[in-house]
Amino acid sequence: MALGYGTEEGLLPLLDNDHQDELVAEWRAYQQAMKSTTPAPSKLDFGTLSVGPVVGGRAEVTTRVAATWWGTGGRGLGYSSAEQVWRFQTREDDGWQVVAVDAPEWCGVYVRLDACA
């Protein structure tokens, strides 16, 4: 849920130790792409998590994610992007941890290419 608001608080314990640096770097790069949009989104919204079959202590988790922009300058209305599927590869190691994330490109999928700086 913290990822929806662009924070990293509470994120590290969820990431596989062997992939932690890579996953954090990918998330920071994704945040930079979001911030390059004018205006930048207010948050990411996600729906129900769907967990695939557990095979050998691993499972794929998917969810549909939309970006939300809240109204600014006194406007009460906001808007959301189309939902896109994010895929999380997870493994069980004294609790479930994220090993890899397959998220749609920000520029060109969530927003038009020309909307990104």
Strands 96-102 and 84-92: antiparallel
Contact 115, 38 (CB under 8 A): yes
Domain total of the chain: 1
Query: Tens digit of pLDDT for each residue in 38-55?
Result: 888 988 999 999 999 999
The CATH number of residue 66's host domain is: 3.10.450
Q: Is the pLDDT of residue 2 over 80?
A: no
pLDDT band at 4 (very low <50, low <70, confident <90, very high): low
The pTM for the full model equals 0.86
Among 13-17, 65-69, 101-105, the minimum mean pLDDT is found in 13-17
Range of the domain at 105: 2-115
Q: How do residues 105-116 score in pLDDT, each as one tens digit?
A: 999 999 988 888
Cβ atoms of 68 and 42 closer than 8 Å: yes
